Amino acid sequence: MPTTVLVGAQWGDEGKGKITDHLSKAADVVVRYQGGNNAGHTIIVGNERFALTLIPSGVLYPQVTPVIGNGCVIDPAVLVDEMAELDRRGIDPSRLQVSGNAHLIMPYHRKLDAVMERFLGQQQIGTTKRGIGPAYMDKFSRHGIRVQDLFDPKIFHQKLEVALKDKNKILAKVYNSLPMEIEPIAEKYLGYGDQLHDHVTDTSLLLWEAQQQGKNIIFEGAQGTLLDIDHGTYPFVTSSNPTAGGATIGSGIGPKTIDRVVGVAKAYITRVGTGPFPTELNDETGARMVELGGEFGTVTGRRRRCGWLDIVALRYAVRVNGLTELAMTKLDILSHFENLKIAVAYDSLGERFTEFPRQQRVLYNCHPVYEELPGWDVDISEIRSYDDLPKEARRYIEYVENMIGVPVSMIGVGPARDATLIRNP
C-alpha cells in the first residue's frame, strides 16, 4: 500500500480537497502536515458542501483516520468548532488524532497578524489574518505553546505568562495596541484542552505503525509550492513548508517511505494575497476566469487573481516536490475561451528564463512568453471518460504533460465528487 503526498503545485486553492477526497476513498489514514486554518478545502458531497480548514478532507470517509501532524499550527477554537459542525452533519469526528507537538495559535497571534500587516502598509503580504505567521514565529523562537501543554495547567500558565509579558510589550510599544489579559485566555484554552484531550496522541508513532501494517496513507498538503517559506515567492508566502519535503518534517516519517507525490494544479492559475504573478490577467479574460471559476477564497472570501497556466512555475513544482504525477483541476472552466494561452518562458531584464527565477527582482519584471492552443466550445462537465473529451481538451492536457515531464493522471471537469477523470497515460 502506498504512502502518497499530495501537494499544491501553484499558489494554493488548486482544488486539492477534491483530489484528496478522491484518493481518500481507498485510504486508511489522511494527514495534514503544515499550516493551519489559513487553508480552505471545499468538497461537494451530493447536495452538501463541506468547507474544512483544519481537519483533513479524508474525515468524510468513515474508514479514514484523520491526523493533524506536528507541523501544523492549531487554533483550538476553530478545531472544536469544526468537529462540532461535522458531528452536527452526521460525520463522526471522534476518529481525529492530533499531535501533542503541534503548536497552538493563541489570541495574541491573531492580533499580531492583523497589526503587523497593517504596519506593513503597501508592503503587506495579504495574510489570512488567522495568526499563522506569528504562531510559527513563536515556534522557531522557542516561545511557542504546544497542544500537549493544554494538559498541564501549571506549565500552561507559566508558558502563557512568559509569552504574554513579551507580546503585551510588543502590542503596546510597537503597535500601539491594547494589552491582553492572561486569565480569560487560560480559562478558554484549558477548556479546549478538556475537549481535545482524547484526540491527542503520538501521531509519528501512529503513522509508523500504520506503515508497518501496510496501510494506505495520504499526506494532504495545504497552500501550495509557490507559497512555501523556502521555495515560494518569498516574502509573499505562508510560514510553513507545503512542499513534499514538509510532509516528513511535519509528521515524523522518513522520506524513503514516500512512494508517490501528486501535484495538484488548476488548468489555469490563481493567487490570493499580494506578490509577483507573471501570468496575471488584469483584463476581461481574467475577470471571466474569476466569474466562471467562482474564484473567491474559501477562508477569507477574497477575490482571487487569475491568469493563464504557467508551465515555468509548474516545472518548478515538479522539481522541488519530486512530483510523480499531476492532477489538473477545473478544466471545464477553460471551455468558455476560444483560444488558450500557456506560458512556456519568461522574458525579464533582457534575458529569457525557462526555469523559475530565484531572484525576486527578476520575477517582478517577468513578461510571459505564450504558446497558444485552440479551445473547445463544448461543455465538458458531464464527461466521465478521458477519451470522450474533445480533441482540443486532450491536446491541452497532453501538451502540458509533455512540457512538464510527468503524467497528468487525474482531470477535474466539475465540482461534483465524481467529476474527476482518471487516466492511465
Residue partners of 173: CB distance under 8 A and separation at least 6 = none
User: Can residue 19 be called a binding residue for ligand IMP (CB under 6 A)?
Assistant: no
Q: Does the active-site annotation cover 367? A: no
Rama region for 229: left / alpha / beta (φ>0; ψ in -120 to 50; rest): alpha
Q: Candidates 9-17, 26-34, 91-99, 155-163: pick the segment binding ligand IMP (CB under 6 A).
A: 9-17
Backbone angles phi, psi at 410, to 5 degrees: -140, 140
The residue (of 34 and 348) whose beta carbon lies closer to ligand IMP is 34
89, burial (CB in 10 Å: exposed 0-12, middle 13-18, buried 19+): exposed
Q: What are phi and psi of 276, to 5 degrees?
A: -65, 150
Residue (41 or 423) nearer to ligand IMP, CB: 41
Q: Segment contacting ligand IMP (CB under 6 A): 102-110, 119-127, 208-216, 248-256?
A: 119-127
**Rounded Cα gap, residues 192 and 204, in angstroms:** 23
Could you say whether residue 223 binds ligand IMP (CB under 6 A)?
A: yes
When asked if residue 133 is in the footprint of ligand IMP (CB under 6 A), the reply is: yes
Indicate whether 245 belongs to the interface with ligand IMP (CB under 6 A). Answer: no
Which is catalytic among the residues 22, 41, 103, 109?
41
272 counts as binding ligand IMP under rule CB under 6 A: yes
**Residue 343 region by backbone torsions, left for phi larger than 0, else alpha for psi between -120 and 50, else beta:** beta
134 binds ligand IMP (CB under 6 A): no
- By rule CB under 6 A, what string of x and - marks binding of each residue 273-312 to ligand IMP? x---------------------------------------
Q: Specify the DSSP class assigned to residue 255.
A: G
Using CB under 6 A as the criterion, what x/- string covers residues 178-217 for binding ligand IMP? Answer: ----------------------------------------
State the residue for C-alpha cell 474544512.
Answer: 52
Asked if 13 is part of the footprint of ligand IMP (rule: CB under 6 A), the reply reads yes
Q: Does 38 bind ligand IMP (CB under 6 A)?
A: yes
Amino acid 197 reads H
Question: Among residues 10 and 65, whose Cβ is nearest to ligand IMP?
Answer: 10
Angle at 300 between CA 19 and CA 221, to 5 degrees: 30
Find the binder of ligand IMP among 29, 64, 132, 314 (CB under 6 A): 132
Q: Respond yes or no: is residue 13 known to be catalytic.
A: yes
The answer to whether residue 246 forms part of the interface with ligand IMP (CB under 6 A) is no
324 binding ligand IMP? (CB under 6 A): no
* In contact, 9 and 265? CB cutoff 8 Å: yes
Write the DSSP assignment of 8-28 as a string of letters: ESSSS-SSHHHHHHHHHTT-S
**What is d(CA 405, CA 421) in angstroms, rounded to the nearest whole number?**
20
Of 396, 367, 353, 302, the closest CA to residue 12 belongs to: 302
Q: Which residue is nearest to ligand IMP (CB)?
A: 273
Name the β-bridge partners of 217. 3, 29
Catalytically active residues, by annotation: 13, 41
Residues contributing to the site for ligand IMP (CB under 6 A): 11-13, 38-40, 125-128, 130, 132-133, 222-223, 227, 236, 238-239, 272-273
